[in-house]
Every structure is written in structure tokens, then in C-alpha cells.
Structure 1
Amino acid sequence: AIEAELQVLAASPSLQDGDFAAFDRQMREALKIRGTSIVLHDTKGQQLLSTNRPFGEPLPRATNTEMHDRVVATGQPQISDLILGAVLRRPILVVGVPVFRDGQVVYVLAMGLGPEVLSSLLEEQNLSPDWTAGFFDRKGIIVARNRDLDRFLGKPVSPGLLEAMRGPVENWLPNITSEGIPVYSTFRRSPLTGWTVAIGLPREFVDAPVRRARLLAFGGGGAVLAASLLLGWWMARGIRRPVEALTDATKALGRGEPIGALVGGVRELDEVGNELRNTAATLARNREELESTVAERTRELAATNKRLRAEIEAREQAQSALLQAQKMEAMGQLTGGVAHDFNNLLTAVSGSLALLEPRVSDEKSLRLLHTAQRGAAQGAKLTESLLAFARQQRLNPIPANLNSIIVEMTEILRRSIGPTVEIRHALAGELWPVLIDTGQIETALLNVALNARDAMPGGGLILIETANIRGASGELPEEVADQDCVLVSVRDTGTGMSPEVLERAFEPFFTTKEVGKGTGLGLSMVFGVIRQSGGAVRIRSRLREGTTVLIYLPRAIEAAKSGARLSRQARAVGGAHILVVDDDPDVRWIIAQDLQEMGYDVTEADSGRAALAILERGTPCDLMVADLVMPGLSGLDTMRLARRSRPDLKVLFASGYADLSRFGADLNSHALLKKPFKLET
């Protein structure tokens, strides 16, 4: 039992990762179950952690390394003889187990036990006070005793018993106890640990009735010598048989066998026989009780081990999920920043190309210009996928029924994935509505289906299922565990993923396809859209067993609040004045040129402060086009300050970012242009 507890503790991820501070805490928690101390040694015997000392305090080397060396040499659990503890300096027993890393023993984890643990086991047997019982280690040292333990702890067992213990694993013999009491001793040695348990019955208890019977047999007077001899012969013959029966019964008692009725005709011998029979019955009951106790404790230990393993597994999963979430969050921030900067570049490029197009007349130049415009458009789609992963795109969520969306787009899915892949549905009835951008969820499902198709080059099956899941069911990921959700499951019969690929499946630009066959943004876009919508997404996959993508979306409680949208006109309305505010000079110039060619009067400002100064001078302004993210004052801050003096000022925001929540306000009531954009559309 103790060995199993230590092996569970030795499998701790904290120990495997070298986090000694965390493992020290786990050791102290485990000590509450049993034991006097838990110590972690290196393979040389140096103590690294000990529950006997505060964490970080210097520790000594082990004083007795015999058991430690056996663990290192064999790679198997071991138990020590009675030793003196290195820190507390008192007699203890030590159980040690190996700690492996890459197949090699790197540590020895040991638990110390006081001798009183074994003594309590003897007390539970309710032995007669006249009997002597004890546990002895490999060297024959007294480890536990039912009588006078303080007097004899750590001393050698009596010479006669020690000699007998070197022979068969179980036996009986006439013996003298350490106190000098003559006894009949029966013992058994464990082949696993080399330890011995022995019980001694006082010889006086067995022999006195026999001696009294013999005195009766030979106590007659000289006058009746012949009769006495005859009577003695008859009684001796009658006594010999019950004495031999008593001897056989004593041997059976030592072997733990049951004893039948012993009736020899001599009252004293019959009394001894009855006592032996009662003793055998008592020992049998005690053995049954001990086995029952061991079984009960084994069940308790199994439950404890199961709980510890579950806690360790849950902790590992939580740590892994936390690390993965932190990694994805960091990648999202980096990706969003790159996409924002790239969108500014695309705005300048696509704007310049749009201004250049009317000025180009020859066909070859127009063809080159259109090629450049298509490249810019592809770049815009790329940044849109990056922003989806980074959860920084603008969503227009509405209450929607996912069953309806799936049914309506099934034909599109079939055309997209080809005839070799079959699509089936298993849609739940009365599916709850969800608050989602329908266009984005359609794109997400299409990306999942295309990935499934690519994993089935020879054809296969895609099964799309939906279900309602209650928040209290315990079936939801931790991100949405406290709310009702709708589940969309997309399962394929493809090649599946290895654990290494599965771990990186949501990373942007990660792909197992050949160069030019994929961007690695499909699943990352799915991850970003679902997380930005308040949901969660998981992937279950094994090589050659297919893949299942699980999408969890919160149940819609109220209708989406759709904000007003500022309509854009293709041409100017009678000399309108527009203030363009952007810290990027190329983007600002392109927007200004485009607006001027459309007939607007344009004023430029390179910052929010500059824009406020222009407005304070009384410059006409019918519309302010402002970058949302700028050094100093953001576009949102600039609008708030400007409306103090011009409360009716209309504002159009433009940004490569679109994560509205990061600015601390709901921008649904404001128009937002996503860079890159074309003002004439």
C-alpha cells in the first residue's frame, strides 16, 4: 500500500519537470495520509527534499544507503531494515521507490515509518497477555513487539530464534524470549521483504498439565509397586497418545492450520488441548480480521490512488491548457499587430493603384496594374484571416439557427469538396439559437470541411452533428463551462493527426501540406472567429482514426443589437468638407487624393491633437475620417474631444484593427472602414 502511494507521488509532473517547490508541497500533502516523513534523494544518497525541514534548507546525506543503493541498482521498490533517521535521529523504517526519467533512475523517493505502525498491527490481533509476538528485519533486529517495545526496540532477537530464522521460511521451535521466558515459538519469513513475524506461547502453559499427569502416574506407595507399575504403564500409554496429539496440534498451530477435538482421557491434557484448539480458532479469527482489514485498506488505498492520479491528470491538463492558451494569446497579439501594419501598406498600395488606373491607357500597362490590384486583394484576404485568428475583425452577430445555416450551405459544401466525399447530417431538434456572424460561421464551417476533404484523398465521409448542451452537464470546455451552449461537431474518416500536429493545429501558417497547397490559416481563422464570438473550439484526432472538430457557441439570450451604419456615397455632395486624420503619411495622402478626385474638399491632420487644433480654428468639417489606432490620442479619443465643441460632427473610423472591445467602448453605432478599402465603392 505504501509502495503504491509512493509510486503515484513519483509520477508527479512537478517532479518530472524539476519544479521542486511544487513537489515539496505535494509531498507534505501526501504525508497527511500516513508516514513520519517523505524524502527525495539523488542517486548518490544526497537528500534533495525532506518534509522534516522547510523547503530550501540545507539537508544531509543519508546515513544508511543500503536500501537506497538497492533501489538504484534494481530499479525496484525496497524496504530498509531498522535504521536511525538522518534528520530526526530516531529509529525508523524506510520504503523507497525509484523515480525514472527516460528509462533511467534519477531519484529515490522514500517514506519513513515509525515502528509503532507495526506494533499497532500486533495490538489489533488481541493476543493473550502471556504471549510474545514481534516483527524482525533481515538482520534479526526487533522492529515491533506486543510487549516492552521501548526496552527491546533495535536489539537482536534471541539466539535460538535467530538461528531458526536462517532456515525454512516457516517453522516452530522451543525457544527463550529476550526476557528469558521459555516458549514454543512459531514464525514465518516474507520472501519479498526478508522480514519475519513470530509468536511465542509460554512452555509452562503447555507443559505443566503434562507434568502433573506424570506425577499422578508414578506417585503410588511401595506396597502396591506392582499395581502401581501396571497402572503407570497403563497411564503412560494413555498419556503418550494425548501428548503426541498435543505436539502435533502445536505444530499445526505454528503452520496456521485448524485443530480438531483433542480428547485423551487426561483432564489436564484435555484442558491444554482445548486451550490449543481455542487458540487456533482465535488465531484463525484474527487472521480473517487482519485479511479483512488489509482488504479494506487496500480498497481505501486504491480509491486514494485513483483520486491522486485523477488530480495529477487534471493538473497536467490544466497546465497544458493554460500554456496553450498563453501561446495562442501571444501569437494572436503578434499576428494582429502584423496584420494592422500590413493593412496600412495595402491601403497605400491599393489606393495608389486606384488613382493610377484612370491615368493608364495602353493595354499592357492596364494588365500589369490589374495584376497588382489582384495581388493587393489577395493580400487583403490574407490579413483578414490573420485578424480572424487574432480575434480583431469586425463581427455583425445576429440570432441564428445553426441547423438552418448548415442545411442551406450543404450544397455549397458538396460542390467545394467534390463527389468523392459524402456529407451527412445528424441535427438536433429544437436547437437553441446562437448569436453569431452568419457569414463568418459559414466560412469557418467551409474551412473545416475543406481540411477534412484534404485528409481523405481517396474519399470518405463527413458527418455534421448538432446538439444542445447544458452548462451544468460537465461536458463543456472551461471557457464556456458556466453557460448553455450549442455544439457543432464535424467528423471525418480521414488520416487523422499525430499528437505533435494536433498541438499546433490552430497556429497561423502551420500546415502539413506541400508548399503552395495551403496557407495554414484555415483552422486558425476558425479558432479566432469562435473565440471572438464567445465560444470554444476543440479538436479530437488520432492517426488513421479520423478527426473531429467540436465548436461550442453560447446560447443566445437576447437579440443582437445592430448599430446604425453610415451610408457612403459614390460621389461628393455639393462641396462637402472632410478632415482626414491618420499618422501614416502614405495612407493619409492616398485617402485625401481619392476624396479630392471625388470632388470633396479635404484637410489633412497627422494626429488627433492636430485635428483638434484644425477644428478649433473653425475649419469647416462635415465628416472626419480618423484612424482608430494612433500614437497619443486614438481616433475614439479625438472624436470625444471634438464633439465637445461640435456635438453633431460625423465620424468615420478606419483601421487595420477591428477588435472594438479593446478601446473600452461599444463602436457598433459608428461606421468603420477596414483597411485596405476603396472609397468609391
Structure 2
Amino acid sequence: MTDRPAQHSAPPSVRRVLTLLVAACIVPIVLVLAVLIINFYRQEEARLVENTLNHARHVSAAADREVRSTQLALQVLASSYLLHERDLRTFHARISAVVDKLHVDSILLLDLDGRILLSTLRPYGSALPQLTDRPLLQRTRSTAMPGVSGIFTGPLVGQPIVTIAVPVIENGKVVMSLNATVTPATLQPLLFEQKFPESWRAGIVDQQFRIITRSHDMARLAGQQLPAELRQPLSRERESAFDSYTLEGKRSLFVYHRSPQTGWTAILGIPHDELTAPLQRSLFWLITLSVIALALGSTCALWLARRVTRSIQALIAPALAVGQAVPLPLPRLYFSEARELGQALQIAARDLQRARADSSESEQRLALAARAAHLGIWTRDLRQQQIWVSQAWRELFGFNAEQPITLDDLLARVHPADRQHVQRTLDSTLYGATRYDMEFRIELASGCQRWISSHGSVEFDRHQRPTLVRGVSLDITSRKQAELDLQQKQKEVTHLARVAMLGELSGALAHELNQPLTAILSNAQAAQRFLGQPAPDLAEVQEILNDIASEDQRAGAIIARLRSLFGKHDAQRQRISAQSLIDSVQHLISNDLIHQRLTLRTELCKETLTLEADPVQLQQVLLNLLMNACDAQSQQIEHSNLIVLRSARVGQTLQLSISDSGGGIPAEALEQIFTPFYTTKARGMGLGLSICRSIVDAHGGRLWAENNSHGGATFHLRLPLAEAAQP
């Protein structure tokens, strides 16, 4: 009797398992689809309500902008001197000229009793009615603030209008009201600009829920009050949605938003059949396609199960061999795709072996290059909050080889003055920044400082969330020190240029100082004579002493100006008016102009313009340009004795122009004159204009020159105004 092999129960086939799996998935999938469909419907409805509410907000915001712009224009007109002088005829002509530009239908002026003083709808002097109902006028008078009315029938046009009013204030009191009227037709484009579907109903109502304007049948309905079934839900909240019927009797979803500025409410009505029809179609197709997909999936899974199983099992051994990078011979396979997969596994095994060798070589090269360049390499895992750094990085920042590194450890090494900037830059990688470059100082345990240049790039996952930051850090202390040394030398050159300018002005300044000193000497001698008399006149002596003190203060002011201009100090920016800057320069150069028999004429902007700048450096620029103009005038045998200094506002900048009547500048030298050591003077150093341009560039401005058509040259200096420099 022969032994038979033990019988074991056969495992379930792929076909049986897939059949049971499909059957087990049908019921849960159907339930999930049902839940998804219900949620989909609710989400679609909420999305439509939110989108429509945004449209209502846009309409309300557009109406607010129209009201605000009209109020601003009226406030400008209300401040006109013509109203304060009661020149109403001229004021009527002025507002008639601008009424079309304001997108309003008319402008009128009321006194506090409601009498219409003038209107752009009537010629000046025409008889005008008096308002009987004037709540907006009373509100404007009591609050002294601009306001807007509801819709009412205008006494001049006999049709519905709204009024926008601003107070006319004199000596702190409201004396009149300047109003602009707008018809519903003028406001209707605010609705059409949103390009709503033709089936929607859009409108704006006032504080009493009277229709100001409407997208449909506006001419008939303007000024009418909404029915109670619409007014009641509108009065509950500032913005919401509710179901009701339109004025045409069609059931719709109404979405509204009330403006806190005007009290007007923007209302949008969407027909219910337009809301539900797309959702019903989506629901039908979603269910149909889900059933079809489930049926096809089950059929295909059962048909392919037996055929796929054999090929999958045959590829298990080659797949396991890939990890060891050892290709195995392929078994017999039933599908061309399975054969291709098997060949791909063999290729993958060979590529993996080659990639491991290349990766090892690349890592060695990278480590060698980093050590040669003294680069510190680091990686920051944003998900795990872990930081890996190379040994070179640890040496750069003064960490030992075993010490774990955290972000707080890094920030603790950063110089306190740079720590906030480094923290903000690192935080930016969490909010969408793709890379960063920064320079900062660190303080080592030995007490010395080191400048670091750090560069990083951010990696994102498939949801565009930052996951990893890689970068390098480099010691740039030597370069930074060289930059600081260069800045110091530039400061010294600028100071030497000011000292050289002092030499050129020394004769005129000596004369200016001689005048108060001579007056002090004369007054002191006179005081001695009075005091030598038997009965000196003490009142006269007191006046002499007052003159001495005044002349002494004058001499002190001259010396203070010289010390501020030629003292050696760091640039310190402050707010300074253009007028005071020009006045200070005129004081310094006035006597030099007199000695050379030249006249400086100023043509200055009437507006008060303020700069954020170093006044001493700007004085140096203006003095250099004015002295160059004096030299250009004196080199001509026959020349005008006039130099012109102009100031003007150009956008958000101040432009200063200095014009002379000299020989001009050769065309080829117009740009070279700003090059260091280039000069057209016999004894010039060639640094003045170069330093001037450097100072102007440091202030964010521009300096250039051009020849005048009538002879001579003009230097233009343009600097940003203080308000333009604010962040």
C-alpha cells in the first residue's frame, strides 16, 4: 500500500475573492454615494448662496464707492472760497462745468431752512422751490457730516431721486448744504456691470426698503416700497438669504447685503428652477454613472483575475531580486505587459547597482567640494521638525560634533540685532516662499563675531505644502569687513570734498563773519565811552549791549552752519522741508554771489514739500551745483549775471533745477562729468559731481545734466518726498 500525500484545503482563488470583494463593496459604495450626493447638494446650495452673497456685496460696495467719490468731490467744492465770499453766480458756473464729470444728475445748494439757493438744472437767479421734507438736511446740520438720503420725488424734476449731501462749514458751524442728486437710471449701471443672468432680479433699496434702482421694470417700480413679505426678512440681519416671491410673482432665492455706510440694501433674486435644475441633472448622472462603473468593474475584475494571477506569481522572485540588484532569468509569462515588466525589473536591478555606485561617488565629490569651499550644508525637515547639518556647518557656527541642533540653538547664536530678520526669513518658508538668501552675524562662544551668508530652497509635496528646506551657509566675514572699510573711505572722500568746498567759500564766509565782529567792536567802544562819562546814560548802554548780543548770536549762527556742513559725522536722515534746505544753502553762498557780482533767482513751488534725508549731505550737493554754476558764468567774457534755482513737484518727488548762462557742457561729456576724477576745470579734482551723484543715489534720487537751448546748462536733482518713502 503506497502512501498518498496529505490533502490540504485549497486557498480561495482570485476569481472567488474578487467576486466576494465586489459584492461586499457594492452596498457600502451605494451608501457612501448616497451620503456624498446629499452632501454635494447641500454644498452646491451653500456655494451658490455664498457666491450670490459676494455679488450682493460687490453691488453694495460699488454703490458705496459712487457715494464716497461724490461726497469727496462735493467736499472739495464746499470748501471753495466762492461760497465763503457768497459769490454764488461764479460758484454756479463752476459746479455746472463739473457736474457731468461727477456722474450725477445735478448739484444744488441749500440754506438751513431748506430753501434751494441754486441748482445746475436751472439758470442762476431762477426761482427755486423750498423743501418741505428735509430729514437729510437736518441730519447734516446736526452732525456736520456727509450723508445720503432715501429715494423721494425731486421738487425740480418731478421724478424719483436720491440725494448725497455734504455740509458747508464756516467758523466751525454748518451754514449751508451742498447736495448732488442721482436718478435711478444713473445708478442702474451698477447692476449691469455685474453681468447677472437675464433671469435674475437685482435691485438696490433705501433705508425704508423703497426701490432705488432695479435691473428689470425700473421705470415703473422706482420709488415703490417692497411688500411686507420682503421687508420683514430684510430687516432682520445685515446680510442673509431667504425664499420668497419676486414682484413679478416668481418663487426665488433672495440674497441681500446692507451697507453700513449708506444704509442701502443690495438684493439679488435667483429663480428656484434655475437653482434646482442643474443639481437634479447632476444627481441623475452621478447615480447612473456610479451604477455603470460598478457593474463594469465587477465584470472586468472577474474576467482578468485568473489571467493576472499566474503572471503576478511568476514575477515575485524577480521583484524580490531587485532589492539585491541581482537580475534573475524570467519565467514563462502569459502577457506581453508582464514580459515587459519582467524585463523592466532586470533593467531596474542593473540601474540600481549602477546608481548606488554613482551616488557614492557623487556624495564623496560633494563632501570634497564643500570642504574645499568651507561650505556648511544643512537640511531642515518641516514635518518632523528635525535639522541635519554637516561637520563643516558645525565648525562654522561653533557646535561640537555630537551636539543635537534645534532652531532655537541656531537663533541663540545669531546676533541680537539680526535675530528678528533671521526668524522672519525662516518663517517665510512655512508660508509659500520657494527660496531665500540672507546675510547675518553670529556670536561665537569666544566672543568674536562672524558674518554668514545663507541660501536655502524649499521642497513641496503634491499639495504644495512645504516639507523640506535645503541650503548652504558660507563665512563672508572677510568680504563684509572689506565692504565696511570701503564705506569708511567713501565717507572720508565725501568729507574731504566738503572741506575743499570750504576753501572756495572761505573769502565770502570771512566777509560774512567780519560784519558782526566789526559791529560788536564798534558797540563795545561806544559803551566804553558812555561809561567813561560822569553820568552815563544807562538806557543807551543797555541798547548797545543788546546790539552786541544780537551780533554775537548772528556770528554764532554763521559758525554753527559751517560746523554742521563741514563737520565729520555719519549720515543721519531726518525730515526737512525743501524751503529750509534752500534757505540754508542761500545763507552759505550769498556773500560769494555778491563778490562775483552774480544774482541767484529762486522760482520755488508754493506747496510745502518735505524730504526724509540727511540735510548736510543735500547742502553739500546744492552748494557744489551752485558753485559750479558760478564758475561756468565767470569763465565767459560776456555772460549773464543770473543763476536760476527752481523747485517743483513731479509726482511723488521733489525736482530742483539749477540753470546758468555759461558755455554749456560738451555733448560727449554730459555723462562723463559724473565719473570720478573727470574734470573740465584747470584746478579741479573731478570728485565733486561724482560725490553728488553718490549722495543722491543713496537717497533714492536721480541727478543729471542737460544743455539749455539758449546757452548754458541745467543740472536737475530729483528726490523722493517723505510721504512717498513710507512703507
TM band (smaller chain): 0.3 to 0.5
Of the two structures, which has the highest relative contact order with CA contacts closer than 8 Å and spacing of 6 or more? Answer: 1
Query: TM-score under structure 1 normalisation?
Result: 0.36
Query: TM-score under structure 2 normalisation?
Result: 0.34
Structure with greater proportional helix content? 2
